[in-house]
Amino acid sequence: MDLQLPFEGLKVVDLSQGIAGPYCTQILWQQGAEVIKVEPFSGDWGRHVGAVKNGHSAVSISYNAGKKSVAIDAKKDAGRELIKKLITTADIVVQNFRPGVVKRLGLDYESVRNLNPEMIYMSISGYGEDGPYAQSPASDSVMQADSGLMFTNRTRKGEPKRIGMLLADIATALYATQLITVALYQRLKFKKGTHLELNLLQACSALQINDIASVAIEGVKPNEAVSAPNGVFECADGSITVLALNDNQFERVCKALGREEWLRDERFKDNRSRMSNKEWLHQELAAILKQKNRTYWEKSFKEYAVLHAPVRDYESLMKHPQALQQEIFQSISQPSVGNLPLPGIPGPKSLRRSLSAAPAVGEHTEEILLKNGVKQRDYEQLIQEDVVWQAS
C-alpha cells in the first residue's frame, strides 16, 4: 500500500515569481500539494533570465516543475476576481511582490483573509513590509552584498565575492517552507490561518549565525580556513581538497603522505602551530600531491580516513557512486527543451514526488478555472476580453 504524501490534498496558490517564492511552493509540490501558479501573460520573470531555451529557463524549470500554470491579467478587475476565487479554496497562498503591490491589487492578506479564514498566507520580500528599506529593490546579488554573504566569501586578498549560486533566494525559500510547515501544524491545532512574513535579509542573517558569532568573539572574520592543512591542491590530473581539523586527523594526513617525520616537528605540534606555518605546509603538500594522479591519492587518503574529496564538476557529480546509489538525480522530459537531470529535495522517497516537467505559461488555465467554478461560457468570454490566456 502506497503511503500518502504529507501535503497531499493541500492546495497552494502561487502568486510569486523568480526564485524564493517559486522554490518554496515547488518544495510543497514535491511533498504532495497541488500548486497553481498564477502568472501574467508574459510569464514569471524567472522564465527569461539565465540559461533560456524555447520559452523556458533553468530557473523556471528548476523552481516550477510539476506546477499548473494559469495566465491571468491581474491589472483587470475580472482578473483579480478570478484570483480571489482561487484563493477562496486555497490552503496556502505565497506572494513575493514588493511591499504595497498586492495591496494596490486588493490581494493582500487583509483584503482576502475573510474569504478564507483558515488560509496560510506567506509574504516574501527583500527587506520586510515596513521600515526604512522596505521599498528598496532587492535581488540575490544585492542581498549577498547587503547581508554580509560577500564579506564572508572573500579572496585571500580580502576582496568580497558573490557566492556563485542563488544562495540568498534559495535560503529564503527553505526558511519559508519551514515556516509554512509550522503554520500548518498550528492550523491543525487551532483551526485558524495566519499571515507569515519573511524577508531575504532575515534569512541571510540567520544563515550566517556561526560566522556572526565568530566575528563577535574574535573581532574579525578570517577569510581563510581555520585549520591547517586545509585547501585545494593540484594532483597530476585534477584537483583535490585535503584538510585536518585536529591533531588526530593531521597524523592521518602525515601517514597517507609518507611524511611521519612531521609528527615530531615542533612546527606542527598543534593546530595553532600548524596555522603559523601553514604557508610552508601547503607548499610541501602541493609539491607532493602533484607527483601522482588523483586516483592514487584518493586510495591512500581513504586507507587512512583522511578528510578529502576530488573537486567535481556537475557531470562528475552525477556519476558519483553515492549519488547513483541514492538516486539523487532524476531525469525529466521538458517539452521543447529535452531531458534534464535534476536533483529532487532530499529525504525518504515515501515523502516526496518525483519531479515532472514545468508548465508553459497558461498551460492549465482552462482546466483550473473550470475546476474552480468558472462556467464554460464565462471562460470563453474571459478569453475574448484578454483577462486570461490559455497556451496552445
Task: Please give the full DSSP string across 138-178, using - where no structure is assigned.
Answer: --HHHHHHHTSHHHHSB-TT--B---SS-HHHHHHHHHHHH
Q: What is the pTM of this model?
A: 0.93
How high is the pLDDT of residue 384?
97
How high is the pLDDT of residue 1?
35
187 and 66 part of one domain: yes
Asked whether residue 222 is domain-assigned, the answer is: no
77 and 128 part of one domain: yes
In this prediction, residues 177-206 reach a mean pLDDT of 97
Asked whether residue 172 is domain-assigned, the answer is: yes
126 and 258 part of one domain: no
135 and 17 part of one domain: yes
CATH code assigned at 385 = 3.40.50.10540
Q: Does the N-terminal peptide bond of residue 229 adopt cis geometry, omega within 30 degrees of 0?
A: yes
How high is the pLDDT of residue 2?
52
Domain hosting residue 268, numbered range: 230-315
CATH code assigned at 241 = 3.30.1540.10
pLDDT in tens, 299-354: 999 999 999 999 999 999 999 999 999 999 999 999 999 999 999 999 999 999 99
Average pLDDT, the chain: 95
Q: Which of 287, 315, 343 is the last residue of a domain?
A: 315
145 and 47 part of one domain: yes
pLDDT in tens, 214-246: 889 888 766 678 899 999 999 999 999 999 999
Asked whether residue 223 is domain-assigned, the answer is: no
112 and 260 part of one domain: no
In this prediction, residues 268-290 reach a mean pLDDT of 96
pLDDT band at 157 (very low <50, low <70, confident <90, very high): confident
87 and 146 part of one domain: yes
Domain count, the chain: 2
308 and 375 part of one domain: no
347 and 259 part of one domain: no
283 and 371 part of one domain: no
pLDDT in tens, 19-44: 999 999 999 999 999 999 999 999 99
pLDDT in tens, 349-384: 999 999 999 999 999 999 999 999 999 999 999 999
Asked whether residue 217 is domain-assigned, the answer is: no
Asked whether residue 3 is domain-assigned, the answer is: no
pLDDT band at 126 (very low <50, low <70, confident <90, very high): very high
Task: Please give the full DSSP string across 11-47, using - where no structure is assigned.
Answer: EEEE---SSHHHHHHHHHHHTT-EEEEEE-TT--GGG
247 and 152 part of one domain: no
80 and 201 part of one domain: yes
